[in-house]
A and B are shown apart, each in its own frame.
Chain A
Amino acid sequence: MHELALAQRTVELMTQTATANGGGRIVSARLLLGELSCVQPETLAFAFDAASRGTCAEGCRLDIVRIPAKLRCLACGAVRGGDLLEMCPGCGRVGCDVLEGRELRLESVDLEEDTCPKAGGKP
């Protein structure tokens, strides 16, 4: 259950972003979540609701975008999706590098200016 810790990090980044842009309320945000990260999107959304209470991100709509795994075969270099332990459809070997799919990233937020007196406060 490290979703709560990640939700707290998300709120911290949102608070910093609001402060750096003159204050206001974060009304929506896009969060990139790789499929290979060990994070449940539903649990993260639930934890975010709790962690954002009393901050400038309270009530923010969180759009969680899942990023599919992008793997490169260690043997032949072919790029594919799927599972870490699956055979490469090209050469039949297992073992790969992870190119994408581990993202835990706040991409963008929508800021409504100057409607939240608490903006910039600590979460």
Chain B
Amino acid sequence: MTEISVERNLLDEDARIAAENREKFRRARVYALNLMSGPGAGKTTLLESTIERLRGRIRLAVIAGDIETRRDADRLARRGAPVVQINTRGDCHLDARRIAGALKEMNLAALDMVIVENVGNLVCPAEFDLGEHDKAMILSVAEGHDKPAKYPLMFREARAMVVNKIDLLPYTNFDVEAAVADARTLNPNLEVFRLSARTGDGLDGWLTWLDARLRSVRA
């Protein structure tokens, strides 16, 4: 029997494929964002509003990850954006290999931006590099302001956090300041946007940020 030193990260192969995806985005000058949140925080609704508001200015496509169904893809396609649906059949997250598969179905040359709607989950997606430029996450005020403390990894990995459903604040005991303070303790440079994807209130800051991020990868 021989002891063999391996010294490899379990996600080495994922990192290699993520690097290939990143290179594809870079060559096509496409900005790629990985949007993550728990189930029901409003990823699809935020994307619907985002597609509507960017239409005619920024050519946006969505890669929609779900365990089952095409519901999100159908909702987003109705807003006029090209959508590739990935059903993970049980996996709780998207990985770089699945994104590479989705990219084969997309014409990046005809796009400015790709947003990946990850599987609804506050834990697992944070571990997986997809080859995106940035990760963003949504925390909705219906979820509780202790989430940054309970799920620190995702808040550390994100470049931006959307506090969604602020129209519901009168009906919850969600403490926005406490949630933002905890999130910024975990991640001092975190950009924060308070908005309601449903009413459109506060959406401008988010859209301006997306614009700026797109410009930064094209600079």
Q: Which residues of A contact B (CB under 8 A)?
A: 1-2, 4-6, 9-10, 12-13, 17, 21, 27, 29, 36-38, 74, 84-85, 94-95, 98, 103-113
> With A and B bound together, what is the CA distance between A13 and B9 in angstroms?
9
Which of B6, B12, B91, B182 meets A2, CB within 8 Å?
B91
Are A85 and B3 CB-contacts (below 8 A) given A6-B10, A94-B185? no
**Is the pair B156, A84 in contact by a Cβ cutoff of 8 Å?**
yes
Q: In this assembly, does B4 line the interface, its C-beta being within 8 Å of a C-beta of chain A?
A: yes
**Is the pair A2, B8 in contact by a Cβ cutoff of 8 Å?**
no
Which chain B residue shows the least CB distance to A74?
B188
Among A36, A38, A104: residue with most chain B CB under 10 A: A38
Main secondary structure of the interface of A (DSSP, over half): mixed
Min distance, Cβ B161 to any Cβ of chain A, angstroms: 16
**Is the pair A106, B3 in contact by a Cβ cutoff of 8 Å?**
no
Q: In this assembly, does B149 line the interface, its C-beta being within 8 Å of a C-beta of chain A?
A: yes
**Is the pair B92, A1 in contact by a Cβ cutoff of 8 Å?**
yes
Min distance, Cβ A88 to any Cβ of chain B, angstroms: 11
For window 98-135 of B, CB contacts with A under 8 Å fall at 123-124, 126-128
A-B contact pairs, 6 of them (CB 8 A): A2-B124, A6-B10, A6-B11, A103-B9, A106-B9, A108-B3
Which of B10, B95, B126 meets A38, CB within 8 Å?
B126
- Tell me the number of A-to-B contacts counted with CB atoms below 8 Å: 91
Top 5 nearest A-B pairs (CB, nearest first) are: A2-B124, A9-B10, A104-B10, A94-B185, A38-B123
**Is the pair B153, A38 in contact by a Cβ cutoff of 8 Å?**
yes
Range for the number of chain B residues in contact with chain A: 20 to 34
Among A2, A4, A98: residue with most chain B CB under 10 A: A2
Which chain B residue shows the least CB distance to A26?
B4
Which chain A residue shows the least CB distance to B6?
A106
Which of A29, A106, A111 meets B1, CB within 8 Å?
A111
Q: Point out the residues of chain A lying under 8 angstroms from B153, CB to CB.
A: 36-38
**Is the pair B8, A13 in contact by a Cβ cutoff of 8 Å?**
yes
Which of A6, A12, A13, A95 meets B185, CB within 8 Å?
A95
**Is the pair B1, A85 in contact by a Cβ cutoff of 8 Å?**
no
**Is the pair A85, B186 in contact by a Cβ cutoff of 8 Å?**
yes
**Is the pair A21, B10 in contact by a Cβ cutoff of 8 Å?**
no
Q: In this assembly, does B216 line the interface, its C-beta being within 8 Å of a C-beta of chain A?
A: no
Q: Point out the residues of chain B lying under 8 angstroms from A37, CB to CB.
A: 127, 153
> With A and B bound together, what is the CA distance between A109 and B12 in angstroms?
17
> With A and B bound together, what is the CA distance between A13 and B4 in angstroms?
12
Q: In this assembly, does B208 line the interface, its C-beta being within 8 Å of a C-beta of chain A?
A: no
Q: Point out the residues of chain A lying under 8 angstroms from B14, CB to CB.
A: 9
Q: Point out the residues of chain A lying under 8 angstroms from B152, CB to CB.
A: 36, 84-85
> With A and B bound together, what is the CA distance between A19 and B93 in angstroms?
30
**Is the pair A2, B156 in contact by a Cβ cutoff of 8 Å?**
no
